Amino acid sequence: MTAVGPLFYARGFTTVGMDEVRAVAGVSLKRLYRLFPSKEDLIEQVLLAWREDWETNIVAQVKSAQVPRDRLLAVFDFLAAWFTTEGFRGCAFINSFGELSGTSGRIGAIVRAQKAEFQDYLARVAAEIGAPATLAPQLAILAEGAVTTAAISASPEPARQARAAAEILIDVALGTHPHPGHGSGAREDTSGPDLP
């Protein structure tokens, strides 16, 4: 069923009918329904395959970094490359959640599990460099925000911006970078921005 993944990613799950799936997969409709009694069953399998691909690619990118600190930043390097691929339209899991979670608790559960696993993975990588547990969720939010922003803006620039922010967070977490406004005699401005 890997052949149908790109079709669903490009157009979403609700707009693609089982006849199209059958044609792309090259199997009869009868066989398709024998393998997947419902469309939801098929969608679950596609999401699980995407999750495995995501994990494999992220882990490979992270392991390619030689310097421990750079392993966390490698996540954002992976995003930068992904954002420039043809047909990029954001996170398949976020898209699926927005499209289907209201009607399928099973789909919502798969997406939540994928997001939790990504954050857990970041926590393990962060722990290897002695960073506190608070760093992983911050980096996860940066990464997820970069993916969504890149999809909407059709620009790879959010990966660079998120990476720059991640560098600051990592350095602060490791104690190699002072908090803004602390330790330099500067007073922190708490007045907030001027809003119209």
- Name the band, by pLDDT with cuts 50, 70 and 90, for residue 193: very low
Residue with tokens 């995003």: 79
Count of CA atoms in the C-beta half-sphere (13 A) of 144: 17
Please compute the mean of the pLDDT values over residues 141-153 and round it to a whole number.
97
Residue 165 token pair? 């922010």
* Tens-digit pLDDT profile for residues 13-23: 989 988 899 89
Q: 37-41, 153-157, 167-171: which range is least confident on average? A: 37-41
Residues 6 or more apart from 52 whose CB is under 8 A from it? none
d(CA 82, CA 185): 41
